[in-house]
Structure 1
Amino acid sequence: MAAVDPDHVAQHYNAVPEKGVAERVKSRIFYLRNFNNWTKSMLIGEFLQKLEHNGIRHATVLDLCCGKGGDLLKWKIGRIERLVCADIAEVSLAQCEDRYREMLDRAKQERRQNDLFTAEFISADCSKKRLREAYEQKDIRFDLCSCQFSLHYSFASEQQARRMLQNACESLKPGGYFIGTLPDAARIFHCIKNAPADSAGKYANSVCSVEYEDKEGLSRGEQPPLFGAAFHFTLDEVVNCPEFLVHFPLLEKLLEEWNMELVYKMRFPEAFDKFLKDSKEGRGLLGRMQALEPYPAEEEEDVTPMGDKSEYKTAEYNLSKLEEEQKDGGDSRRPIKIGTLSRSEWEVASMYLVFAFRKKEDAPAV
């Protein structure tokens, strides 16, 4: 079973530099990052709306493994009442708190500080420390727990996974939700197994590489262990850090012990279709967040595509179909543009899933 040093995880995230908007735009995965952020926005918005429909207009939220506070604006837009942020990386958590203080200062200047949620920040390894013992309000109960792109780190061992899920669920109110995003173990293992024979347990495209650690077990046709199934995921320029596969049926079983029932789980491509279908705001938000790359690129604006031409064959096919439909209909409007991701970015997005669980109404108090 692979072991992970929590200090290594903290150092990994502390080492990722804070980049300005101009620098992020230059990134090869600019649109993929925005697409992931859009997916989180839609997921969070959906379940805050569910809570509101249940009479909870101003939710109390636990942001488990909050990082640098990338979701603070989402919580503000969702008009929550109280936010608890917890993360293992002290530097990231400090940046999160700084962002919150900046939001609070702006709200005070606008005399709207009462409209902004209150917050507390806890530096802790959420897979080892019981967070309830660190809360300012020991009896706090959450309407929602959100854990974005982080839950899988705790599956280094059964003990760590159980502690993480305890932190996610033990202070949830009956009817409360646990939502998140994580790598799709089945999809990742499929890609690794079906990679070229000379790749030695590694799948790669133009923006990422995924390397399974137990190459000997892979060569013998063994299935990954339930805990400690380590893989190394490198995305563009992002620092590499050991991660762990999460067998989703196992996650369901572990959460049943906390009286949690599955609402849904779906891979990002399915979630994309669902969110566009279910939400009137989703399509507009895609544009505002620049979550898809405009295709074809504007030649007069000296904009080049993120990937080479072969990365956009599907986009080119769809564009041709739309142009034919436009021509057949006698429509002479300006040239059509569509939103897309390069093939490599879409392959990466397809390696992730969204999930949502709900605590049963008759769950006993803990």
Structure 2
Amino acid sequence: MDALDHGTKKKKAILKLSVDADDESHSGMKAKGDVDHNTNVANHYNRLQEVGLAARSQSRIFFMRNFNNWMKSVLIGETLEKVRDAGHQHISVLDLGCGKGGDLLKWRKGGIGHLVCADIAGVSVEQCRSRYECMRKTSHRDKGVFSAQFITADCTKEPLAEKFDRPGLTFDICSCQFVYHYSFESEAKANMMLKNACESLKPGGYFIGTTPDAYELVKRLEASDSLSFGNDVFQVSFQARGDYPLFGCQYHFNLDQVVDVPEFLVYFPLFEHMASRYGMRLLTKQRFSEFFHEKVKVNHHRSLMKKMASLEEFPGEHGGQPVSEDEYRHAREHCDRAGNAGSPLGTLSRSEWEAASIYLVFVFQKMS
């Protein structure tokens, strides 16, 4: 596992923001131009085609996607445990930015009672609904399948509470996976997204998620000779360097056959400050590398990782794709150092780890 440390030495990355998070006079900055980036994002995800497991297994980022899925599974599972430890049994969840329903099985395995799925991409929401209906039909435990509502809405512009089937509905958990950064185009959008995430949470409820780490992105940009960086599986391109506004700091993110959209830096101290206005207290903020190394020590998390094929076996078939020897040099060097050159090692390719390690995990709890 330690092979994943390759190329991830801790460096202090300073985001060049001269404005304090409390200075409201600077918080209304918007992205340049009048393009509705949310519409572009919705159109992109609506166009993405569902592919089968056989096709996904041939993807260059097959193991990275499984790894990210494992990270979400651990985060969701541990949060559900906390809710139950607090005495809650009929758990209600808001999946903010649900996509095509990739987390539906996680919620089912977690034994929740009710789920509200919301996303800007209407086609994705319908695919999510279809997955849910198939899950219900094939279930042998009717009482084990939660009730659900599906909402197509721009969660950065529209208050979701007005759309709930049950007036006054509150949640134990709001999950926002790989989505919140789209809202940081403007203060108004970021705040509406946060309002939707937190306003309907019960006292003691949790707001959990994953998002790109602005410090890491800026650090890599400043180290680059151009306005972009990446490798053969992902590319990040900025419009400029040296000036990073609190809102509307746009970059373009491309991930092999999965993502090709504009995104926005989330300055986390400001994010935390804004969340505090909704009674939220930050419990956890960890880079993916930190979260991984902590959770993989837990036996049942490690077992789940193997079950989900979240790491590639080295030496192995490399996901069925031809790749250079350099992509696994870190794994080979680790095996040599450990004296187990013939034993399989769990790892990701260098390119996959460079892509996965731009993200962080966060957990907030509602205090009032």
Question: TM-score over 0.5 for the alignment?
Answer: yes
In the alignment, residue 304 of structure 2 is paired with which amino acid? L
Provide the alpha-carbon RMSD of the alignment.
1.5
Contact 1:226-1:247 at 8 Å conserved across structures: yes
Structure 1 residue 280 displacement after superposition: 2.4
Which of 201, 204, 225 in structure 1 is aligned with 2:230?
Answer: 204
Q: 1:258 aligned to 2:284?
A: no
Paired position in structure 2 for 1:352 = 359
In the alignment, residue 195 of structure 2 is paired with which amino acid? Q
Q: 1:234 aligned to 2:254?
A: yes
Structure 1 residue 321 displacement after superposition: 2.6
Greater Rg over alpha carbons, structure: 1
Greater Cα shift, 350-359 or 239-248: 239-248
Q: 1:127 aligned to 2:156?
A: yes
Taking a change above 3 Å as real, the CA distance of residues 6 and 275 of structure 1, as seen in their structure-2 partners, is: same
Contact 2:60-2:321 at 8 Å conserved across structures: no
Query: Which structure is richer in relative contact order (CA contacts within 8 A, separation 6 or more)?
Result: 2
Q: 1:247 aligned to 2:267?
A: yes
Taking a change above 3 Å as real, the CA distance of residues 189 and 322 of structure 1, as seen in their structure-2 partners, is: same
Contact 2:60-2:319 at 8 Å conserved across structures: no
* Counterpart Cα distance in 1 of 2:186 and 2:319: 46
Paired position in structure 1 for 2:106 = 74
Structure 1 residue 303 displacement after superposition: 7.1
* Counterpart Cα distance in 1 of 2:335 and 2:232: 23
Paired position in structure 1 for 2:183 = 154
Q: 1:321 aligned to 2:348?
A: no
SS in 1 for 2:339: helix
* Counterpart Cα distance in 2 of 1:193 and 1:358: 34
SS in 2 for 1:240: strand
Greater Cα shift, 234-243 or 145-154: 234-243
* Counterpart Cα distance in 1 of 2:364 and 2:259: 31
Paired position in structure 1 for 2:72 = 40
Residues 102-126 of structure 1: CA deviation (Å, up to 9, x unaligned)? 011112xx2x211110000011000
* Counterpart Cα distance in 1 of 2:97 and 2:205: 18
Q: 1:187 aligned to 2:206?
A: no
Note the 1:13-162 alignment, pairs <5 A.
13-107=45-139, 110=140, 112-162=141-191
Taking a change above 3 Å as real, the CA distance of residues 10 and 305 of structure 1, as seen in their structure-2 partners, is: closer
Structure 1 residue 49 displacement after superposition: 0.6
Contact 2:156-2:192 at 8 Å conserved across structures: yes
Taking a change above 3 Å as real, the CA distance of residues 17 and 46 of structure 1, as seen in their structure-2 partners, is: same
* Counterpart Cα distance in 2 of 1:264 and 1:318: 30
In the alignment, residue 285 of structure 1 is paired with which amino acid? L
* Counterpart Cα distance in 2 of 1:323 and 1:15: 48
Q: 1:11 aligned to 2:18?
A: no
In the alignment, residue 211 of structure 1 is paired with which amino acid? S
Contact 1:4-1:242 at 8 Å conserved across structures: no
* Counterpart Cα distance in 1 of 2:294 and 2:319: 31
Paired position in structure 2 for 1:287 = 306
Greater Cα shift, 6-15 or 249-258: 6-15
Contact 1:59-1:82 at 8 Å conserved across structures: yes
Taking a change above 3 Å as real, the CA distance of residues 41 and 34 of structure 1, as seen in their structure-2 partners, is: same
Q: Which ranges in structure 2 are unaligned for 5 or more consecutive residues?
A: 1-29
Structure 1 residue 304 displacement after superposition: 5.3
TM-score, length-normalised on structure 1? Answer: 0.89
In the alignment, residue 293 of structure 1 is paired with which amino acid? E
In the TM superposition, structure 1's runs of 4+ consecutive aligned residues that sit over 4 Å from their partners are: 302-306
Q: 1:338 aligned to 2:335?
A: no
Contact 1:297-1:305 at 8 Å conserved across structures: no
SS in 2 for 1:266: strand
SS in 2 for 1:121: strand
In the alignment, residue 341 of structure 1 is paired with which amino acid? L
* Counterpart Cα distance in 2 of 1:347 and 1:115: 39
SS in 1 for 2:346: strand
Contact 2:197-2:207 at 8 Å conserved across structures: yes
Contact 2:178-2:209 at 8 Å conserved across structures: yes
TM-score, length-normalised on structure 2? Answer: 0.88
In the alignment, residue 340 of structure 1 is paired with which amino acid? T
Contact 1:34-1:291 at 8 Å conserved across structures: yes
Which of 285, 294, 309 in structure 1 is aligned with 2:325?
Answer: 309
Contact 1:16-1:239 at 8 Å conserved across structures: no
Taking a change above 3 Å as real, the CA distance of residues 55 and 315 of structure 1, as seen in their structure-2 partners, is: same
In the alignment, residue 256 of structure 1 is paired with which amino acid? S
Taking a change above 3 Å as real, the CA distance of residues 185 and 114 of structure 1, as seen in their structure-2 partners, is: same
Structure 1 residue 59 displacement after superposition: 1.1
Residues 241-270 of structure 1: CA deviation (Å, up to 9, x unaligned)? 110010000000000000100001001000
* Counterpart Cα distance in 2 of 1:225 and 1:152: 14
Aligned residues: 336
Contact 2:231-2:351 at 8 Å conserved across structures: yes
What percentage of aligned pairs have identical amino acids? 49
